[in-house]
Amino acid sequence: MSEEMVTVNMTVNGENVTKTIPVRMHLVDFVRTELGFTGSHLGCEHGVCGACSVRVDGDVVRGCLILAAQAEGAEVVTIEGLTDTGEISDLQDKFVERNALQCGFCTPGMLMTAAELLAQKSDMSREDIREFMSGNYCRCTGYHAIVDAIESVNNTRLKG
Amino acid sequence: MGFIHPYDRPNSYIGRTLPRSRAMRAVAGRGRYTDDITPPRTLHAAFVRSPYAHAKILNIDTAAAKAAPGVKLVMTGAELAEICTGPWVGTLKVFDNMKAEPQYPMAVDRACWHGEPVVMVVAETRAQAEDAGEMVMVEYEELPVVIRKEKAIEPGSPVIHPNLGDNIAWEKVIGTGDVEKAFAEADHVLEETFEFGRHTAVSLEPRIVLSEYDPGTEKLTIHTSSQCPHMIETVFARTLGVPEHKVRIVAPDVGGSFGLKIHTFGDEIAATAAAIKLARPVKFVADRLESFVSDIHARENRVKAKIGIMNDGTLVAAEIDDLSGVGAYSQYPRTSVFEANQILHISFGPYKHPNYRAKATVVYLNAVPTSQYRAVGHPIGISVAEYMMDWAADVTGLDPFDIRRKNVMEDDSYPRIIGSGLPMKDLSHQACLEKLRTLMNYDDLRAEQAELRKKGIYRGIGVAGFIKGTAPSPVGYYGAGGARIAAQDATTVKLEPSGGVIVSLGVTDQGQGVDTVMEQIAAAAIGCSTDMVRAISGDTDATPYGGGTYASRATAIGGEATYQAALDLRREILHMAGILLQKDAEELDIVDGNVVDFGSSEARIPLSEIGRIGHFQLGELPNDYQPVLSHTRRYRLQDSPYIYTNGIHGAYVEVDVDTGWIKHLKHWVVEDCGRIINPQLADEQIRGGCVQGLGGALYEHCIYDDAGQLQNGTMADYVTPMAFEMPDIEVGHVETPTSESELGAKGAGESGTGAAPGVMMNAVNDAIKPLTSGRVKEQPITPEVVLKALGKI
């Protein structure tokens, strides 16, 4: 039984990549092991925890529920890409200042989801933030500081 | 002239919120966890695990797996046992008459829980290893299963380990006074039975090892997600027969731990044995499904409680009887009876009742072994005691705050001994209680509650006080018990030629901010900025031997070692500066990284100059002085078994009395962790701890069927708290520095987890009180439990 392979082409963090990989390889394994973008993490491998969240063609998806082959031709952005473009530098700074992370394992996924929420550019209550962020599991913080950080960045962005 | 305590200096780093450098890395996706490291030629291990809770292994056929693509090694438990040094036994001498069955890393001829590793497959990729694992044929003969703790102690129950005679691991009774007489004389005697469900840590980063062996130097290097690198170094060395000084453990970033990552796991030993045998790096990551059936579980207790109360609300006697259902083996090297032991000792701990009796019975089950998990035993002991105090308040017509005011130990009454025999000092129950009452605007909440009840909205207010054991001493358990687990910790502080300071820690950082806190302590003690200080932790080749981070000890124990080592370095810097400046060291001080005349801030010599001279220009110093510029200090607790902390939680909840759904509206904590180094980090320990406790109180439950099959071992089925269900948590502090150390810090990491379940149970019971005489006395408090208490189902 030999491994069935496929050649995929996509843009990851702004660069074109072409790789021949096992058909069954998930997108998060692809970016981690084939490309070295280890900022996306594996927490549950069945779409519950959100640690593997990556952006595919503008939408945040679970990297453990999509095969790399399904991202053929897509534009994929990981936490490393978001960092390099500076798109969420205000959010990252606030997470650090407010200590909205402890072990940091959930943080890349948390930031991906928060970036999507903040892109709505709308007034939001703490309840709204909590509801939107409820697909991302954090065992360390108890969420309060995460909500503080997102709320603060949203307020600043709306004023700006 | 002389010495100003660092915490008394203006703008001291002690008591100041600073960000964590590790956080800056993590937000950029540059965290470095063990699975992010893959050396060339790395192989991957996967395990075939027992599908049965109890079964004899009749035959294992590995031929097809060995022939599968990419496979380099297939090893059975029996084969692994031959190359290990022998089974381990999870007992401690301090637990009299404790019984435990020897345990091998993988099942040898019998599997004793659903999920016990049976066969290991090592292959070029994890997927190939799992593919081959499915080709392993294991023939089992099912054996009788013991899965209910109440039945395990019945005469005639099947016995899991026949060599032990019965299923009882340990029994213990402690107490003081005469409870029988006190109950006979009490105005009211209240009795209740509680159930606490089993749960597990669910660290987001699963357990992982990456083991590498170099046959040339015979050195074993293991990267692993661990809280206790030195302890686990000892375990790997001794179980695999590698000299301990030739083992290096590196714990890079650790993605959550909570007590999970202080234990011995057979699959990790097996993967490391494979790395030695194959002389290639071997990585094993527990996937989420196998985490649920192989990570330690915790709790699973039935507790009977009885108290005697006088009409004025005075608690005169308390008694508890705990039945703990642990797993198939006693977890090595900390045992599986610690949780029961803690319950006995901390229940009713805030109160001054003169009569106390507590009994524990710990029984083995065909389930995942249980052991230390955040706030060991405290959620159970605190829930039971605080429920009983609220009930006593109802019976005597007192407010929950008033009955606690009446019964807590007075803040000026220490040192004293509590009913379980533990010595207490430096506590502040009274101050915390008053501060909480103000913080939560208690009277306004009660008024709002009464108004809303008229509209059919049922809100409840809970309070729950606690004591929490932190920073254990070497005399109490581990050292005295014969386990090679350090209760001391050590820090080396050294001045580099640049004037920078390196702080090497025996304690470790899993995101709490230990590195940052130690940098703050060292900078404050020396007199330089934290920018000049860098902490190193989590590498046994680079740090002095220490116990690591467990039992809320990092700041309390490691912090004092850091403080004293930094003061030693400061003294040497001043000594050298005194020689160079021809002044008495007593006349000098260090401020902002410069040696100055005491009382001035004018730089005489910067630390960079001390570093340069001390390392390169030694000719400027007299021959009888050889600079060291590197100081190690150890610290251990001496007379007390623990540094006890105290505090009190408040909760405000709304219960939907038709569905049983609980909405947690607001949570408050006032606690006393002694001297606070970094206020924001301390608060976040409390907040995170609360939510972890609330998870166990409301949702988390490892559910076993009668055949010993774990029914909900996925993150979709085992419910953890997410952002939406959790409230904002307001934190206040009373700071009573511990008299055990000069720094005065106590532990802060677990008190949120310890008391949150109790306050939640009290708040829910307060909400439903107008509608029912029933009470919630079971955790997790699912909607079904609430509806049962309401008499609706």
**Span B394-405, mean pLDDT?**
98
For B289, name the nearest residue in chain A, comparing CA atoms only.
A44
Q: How far is CA A116 from CA A91, B17, B573, B729, B743, in A?
A: 12, 29, 52, 25, 44
Residues B279-289: tens digit of each pLDDT: 999 999 999 99
B239 contact partners, CB below 8 Å, separation of at least 6: B84, B85, B88, B105, B264, B269
* Cross-chain CB nearest to A79 (options B29, B513, B690): B29
Q: How many CB pairs lie under 8 A apart between chains A and B?
A: 183
Is A99 in contact with B513 (Cβ distance < 8 A)? yes
**Span B734-750, mean pLDDT?**
97
* Cross-chain CB nearest to B256 (options A38, A131, A140): A140
Is B511 in contact with A138 (Cβ distance < 8 A)? no
Residues of B in contact with A21 (CB under 8 A): none
Strand duo B247-250 + B282-285: pairing: unpaired
Q: Does B409 touch chain A (CB under 8 A)?
A: no
Average pLDDT, chain A: 97
Is residue B8's pLDDT more than 90?
Answer: no
Residues of B in contact with A129 (CB under 8 A): 723
Q: Does B40 touch chain A (CB under 8 A)?
A: no
* Cross-chain CB nearest to B723 (options A41, A92, A147): A147
> What per-residue confidence (pLDDT) applies to B2?
60
> What per-residue confidence (pLDDT) applies to A59?
97
Structural contact between residues B670 and B659, judged by C-beta atoms closer than 8 angstroms: no
Tokens standing for residue B436: 């909480």
Is residue B514's pLDDT more than 70?
Answer: yes
Is B19 in contact with A138 (Cβ distance < 8 A)? no
DSSP B464: E
Q: Does B207 touch chain A (CB under 8 A)?
A: no
Q: Which among B280, B340, B299 has a CA at the least distance from the CA of B92?
A: B340
Q: Which among B444, B487, B436 has a CA at the least distance from the CA of B466?
A: B436
Determine the Cα–Cα distance for residues A65 and B502; give it in Å rounded to an integer: 44
**Span B403-411, mean pLDDT?**
98
Q: What is the dihedral of CA B333, B337, B338, B344, to 10 degrees?
A: -160
Tokens standing for residue B531: 């920018």
- Give the gap in angstroms from C-alpha B133 to the nearest C-alpha of chain A: 15
Residues B556-567: tens digit of each pLDDT: 999 999 999 999
Residues of A in contact with B31 (CB under 8 A): 39, 104-105, 107
Residues of A in contact with B257 (CB under 8 A): 103
Structural contact between residues A150 and A118, judged by C-beta atoms closer than 8 angstroms: yes
> What per-residue confidence (pLDDT) applies to B300?
98
Structural contact between residues B555 and B561, judged by C-beta atoms closer than 8 angstroms: no
Residues B255-277: tens digit of each pLDDT: 999 999 999 999 999 999 999 99
| Cα-to-chain-centroid distance, residue B572 | 37
Is residue A2's pLDDT more than 90?
Answer: no
B288 contact partners, CB below 8 Å, separation of at least 6: A43, A44, A45, A46, B206, B714, B715
Is residue B476's pLDDT more than 80?
Answer: no
The model's confidence at residue B478, banded by pLDDT at 50, 70 and 90, is confident
Average pLDDT, chain B: 97
Is A136 in contact with B27 (Cβ distance < 8 A)? no
**Span B477-488, mean pLDDT?**
87
Determine the Cα–Cα distance for residues B273 and B70; give it in Å rounded to an integer: 19
The residue to which tokens 């029933």 are assigned = B774
- Give the gap in angstroms from C-alpha A96 to the nearest C-alpha of chain B: 6
Residues B177-211: tens digit of each pLDDT: 999 999 999 999 999 999 999 999 999 999 999 99
A137 contact partners, CB below 8 Å, separation of at least 6: A43, A44, A48, A49, A50, A51, A106, B204, B715, B720, B722
The model's confidence at residue B73, banded by pLDDT at 50, 70 and 90, is very high
Q: Does B643 touch chain A (CB under 8 A)?
A: no
Residues of A in contact with B20 (CB under 8 A): 96, 99
Tokens standing for residue B513: 């901010």
The model's confidence at residue B554, banded by pLDDT at 50, 70 and 90, is very high
- SS3 for B115-158, per residue? CCEEEEEEECCHHHHHHHHCCCEEEEEECCCCCCHHHHCCCCCC
Q: How far is CA B347 from CA A141, B270, B381, in A?
A: 27, 39, 4
Q: Does B1 touch chain A (CB under 8 A)?
A: no
| Cα-to-chain-centroid distance, residue A14 | 16
The residue to which tokens 């070295």 are assigned = A36
B603 contact partners, CB below 8 Å, separation of at least 6: B594, B595, B596
Strand duo A75-77 + A5-12: pairing: parallel
Q: Does B245 touch chain A (CB under 8 A)?
A: no
Residue to mutate among B18, B36, B42, B204, with most A CBs inside 10 A, is B204
The model's confidence at residue B480, banded by pLDDT at 50, 70 and 90, is confident
* Cross-chain CB nearest to B715 (options A44, A95, A142): A44
List beta partners, residue B637.
Answer: none
Residues B601-624: tens digit of each pLDDT: 889 999 999 999 999 999 999 999
Q: Does B510 touch chain A (CB under 8 A)?
A: yes
Is residue B135's pLDDT more than 80?
Answer: yes
Q: Helix (H, G, I), strand (E, B), or coil: what is residue B188?
A: strand
Long-range contacts of B23-27 (CB under 8 A, 24+ apart): B23/A95, B23/A96, B23/A99, B23/A101, B23/A104, B24/A96, B25/A104, B25/B253, B26/A101, B26/A103, B26/A104, B26/A107, B26/A108, B26/B253, B27/A83, B27/A92, B27/A95, B27/A96, B27/A101, B27/A104, B27/A107, B27/A111
Is B511 in contact with A140 (Cβ distance < 8 A)? yes
Q: Does B578 touch chain A (CB under 8 A)?
A: no
> What per-residue confidence (pLDDT) applies to B10?
84
Residues of A in contact with B720 (CB under 8 A): 137, 139
Q: Does A95 touch chain B (CB under 8 A)?
A: yes
Sign of the dihedral defined by the CA atoms of residues B320, B321, B325, B326, in that order: positive
**Residue B513 half-sphere exposure, CB side, CA atoms within 13 Å?**
31
Structural contact between residues A136 and A113, judged by C-beta atoms closer than 8 angstroms: yes
Is residue A143's pLDDT more than 70?
Answer: yes
Is residue B477's pLDDT more than 80?
Answer: no
Q: What is the pTM of this model?
A: 0.98
- Give the gap in angstroms from C-alpha A61 to the nearest C-alpha of chain B: 17
Determine the Cα–Cα distance for residues A115 and B76; give it in Å rounded to an integer: 48
Is A80 in contact with B29 (Cβ distance < 8 A)? yes
**Span B365-374, mean pLDDT?**
98
For A51, name the nearest residue in chain B, comparing CA atoms only.
B204
Residues of A in contact with B16 (CB under 8 A): none
Determine the Cα–Cα distance for residues A56 and A78; give it in Å rounded to an integer: 9
> What per-residue confidence (pLDDT) applies to A160?
77
Residues of A in contact with B206 (CB under 8 A): 43
- Give the gap in angstroms from C-alpha A120 to the nearest C-alpha of chain B: 19
Q: Does B417 touch chain A (CB under 8 A)?
A: no
For chain A, the C-alpha Rg in angstroms (whole number) is 16
| Portion 30-89 of A in contact with B at CB < 8 A | 32-33, 37-46, 48-49, 51, 78-80, 82-83
Residues of B in contact with A138 (CB under 8 A): 204, 723
- Give the gap in angstroms from C-alpha B33 to the nearest C-alpha of chain A: 8
Phi-psi region of B306 (alpha: psi -120 to 50; beta: other; left: phi over 0): beta
Strand duo B208-214 + B188-200: pairing: unpaired
Share of chain A above pLDDT 70, in %: 99
> What per-residue confidence (pLDDT) applies to A1?
54
> What per-residue confidence (pLDDT) applies to B11?
84
For A145, name the nearest residue in chain B, comparing CA atoms only.
B684
Angle CA(A11)–CA(A13)–CA(A17) in degrees, nearest 5? Answer: 35
Structural contact between residues B44 and B123, judged by C-beta atoms closer than 8 angstroms: yes
* Cross-chain CB nearest to A46 (options B684, B688, B715): B715
Strand duo B43-49 + B282-285: pairing: parallel
Is residue B431's pLDDT more than 60?
Answer: yes
β-sheet with B219-224: strand ranges across: B71-76, B117-123, B43-49, B282-285, B208-214, B219-224, B247-250
The model's confidence at residue B681, banded by pLDDT at 50, 70 and 90, is very high
Query: What letter represents residue B755's amino acid?
Result: A
